[in-house]
Amino acid sequence: MVLLAVAFIAEAQQAAKIPRIGFMTGNADARAEAFLQALRDLGYIEGKSILVEQRYFTERGQVPALVAELVHLKVDLLVVRAQPTIRAAKQATKTIPIVMVTTQDPVAAGFIDNLARPGGNITGVTTLQRELSGKRLELLKDVLPGITRVAVLMNATAIDDFKMYEAPARALKIQLHSLGVRGPNPDFENAFQAAAKGRANALITVSNVVLNAYPKRIADLAIKNRLPAMSERSDYVNAGGLISYSADEAASYRRAASYVDRILKGAKPADLPVEQPTKFELVINLKTAKQIGLTIPPNVLARADRVIR
């Protein structure tokens, strides 16, 4: 009887164990809600059948400590976004499964061995955000056929982000002008003054933790300076930017939740292929176009997946 009682208690304790997920990204926004809602849709109940430890950072320097904190909590799985976060998680643990949502080619970045069989403890989704650089410049050229100078608003420390635009810009005979800002309080006003001084015809905003907290401020300054603004994320267009071209980020986070589900049910990250986006979204804000006195060509407007009027 004693042995049966001990076995029953041990079984009950094991059944009561709730998986703990570490979720970390820059800035709390709709992406986190998309991930959490996808978990609910899969049948998980926060606090009852799953625990989600959320951590957010606004500067790269915060990343290692936050990742270490989640590892110290002995989470069962990590969900991370952005190159410094993925790299920190990869360095922090070889055993905890990691589901990444990355904007880059994860093989080229050294996160995994290959897309089909990642190897190690990392798998997830790539949004190919940087790989769409040329397409964004082409779209700007379609909207503004006479374009010759484009300002690139970016985190001053993320030089590689700027480099992704250099080759396609040369091919399109567009001169790029770097507008680097630094957190935690970016000097956007000075950056836009530099764009005006450099006679920029348009602006591209590079998605980054430093900039992503200020989509409305950036949009307002672009309108004030009558600069057509292309973005790497649709939330910038929702805030008043002119145009964006990207994979659906909310869909990427919903897919990340499906990886969490499969791994918690026994799948190994090494065996789960990394997914690439199959659908890209062109979003155009006609209200902004009107404010800056720009007419969007009908052939571009016809290609839009969503139009804000």
Q: Cβ(236)–Cβ(219) under 8 Å?
A: yes
**What per-residue confidence (pLDDT) applies to 5?**
47
CA distances from 284 to 53, 244, 250, 307 (A): 35, 7, 18, 5
Tokens standing for residue 28: 């709390």
**What per-residue confidence (pLDDT) applies to 13?**
45
- Give, for all 309 residues of the chain, the pLDDT tens digit: 444 444 454 454 445 689 999 999 876 567 788 999 999 999 999 999 999 999 988 778 889 999 999 999 999 999 998 888 999 999 999 999 999 999 888 998 899 999 999 999 999 999 888 789 999 999 999 999 999 999 999 999 888 889 999 999 999 999 999 999 998 899 999 999 999 999 999 999 998 888 988 999 999 999 999 999 999 999 899 999 999 999 988 889 999 999 999 999 999 999 999 999 888 999 999 999 999 999 999 999 999 999 999
**What per-residue confidence (pLDDT) applies to 53?**
96
**What per-residue confidence (pLDDT) applies to 12?**
45
Indicate the pTM of the whole model: 0.82
**What per-residue confidence (pLDDT) applies to 28?**
59
**What per-residue confidence (pLDDT) applies to 305?**
94
Domain 17-128+248-279 has CATH 3.40.50.2300: yes
CATH 3.40.50.2300 maps onto the chain at: 17-128+248-279, 130-247+281-308
Q: Where are the alpha helices (DSSP H) in the chain?
A: 2-16, 30-41, 63-72, 83-92, 133-143, 159-171, 188-197, 215-224, 234-238, 249-264, 286-291, 298-301
DSSP state of 186: -
**What per-residue confidence (pLDDT) applies to 31?**
77
- Tell me the three state secondary structure of residue 67: helix
Tokens standing for residue 91: 């360095």
Cβ burial of 113 (10 Å; 0-12, 13-18, 19+) is: middle
Q: What CATH code would you report for 130-247+281-308?
A: 3.40.50.2300
